[in-house]
Amino acid sequence: MSGFDETLLEEAEETVRVRFVVNGRKVACEVAPRETLVDCLRNELELTGTHAGCEMGACGACLVQLDGRAVHSCLMFAVQADGAKIETIEGLTESGVIADLQAEFHRRNALQCGFCTPGMLVNAHELLSLVAQPSREEIRDALSGNYCRCTGYEAIVDAIDAVAKARSGSGGAI
């Protein structure tokens, strides 16, 4: 093997230690420098609620909250998130902050196969954190980065709208 080939092999085997606070728990992982955050969450931490869909940031299945903002974890290397606070769908569920959204998604059949649902819920949670009572157009705009093949979106918009109204006390029935 030439020196060039050995160098490439050594670089391919190199790992970096990263530390995060994931769902309120301090964790450390050894990752390849080019390992994506979604792969780290799923493979190293076994948090499989975050889905790897298109791997291009177009479908929204990989959304997580990073330092309070929804990000596409397929577009980030895990090393870029070193030191960050990450909330996955599992953490948002365990904390109860999206319980009303989950219940309304279920009640309105705003989920079918479920593949897009974690990303939709992360996105809806961020939207409702930023805008207490978004219009239906604002909800649709916020969901424009989430792709769903099953529902046709109307039930999802209805569910988010109902939760926003219920949270603000303006007549949404949950």
User: What confidence score (pLDDT) does residue 170 get?
Assistant: 76
Reply yes or no on whether the pLDDT at 81 is more than 80.
yes
Q: Mind listing the pLDDT tens digit for each residue in 33-49?
A: 999 999 999 999 999 99
- Helices marked H in the chain — which ranges? 3-13, 37-39, 89-95, 99-107, 117-130, 136-142, 154-168
User: What confidence score (pLDDT) does residue 117 get?
Assistant: 95
- Backbone phi, then psi, for 112, in 5-degree steps? -130, -80
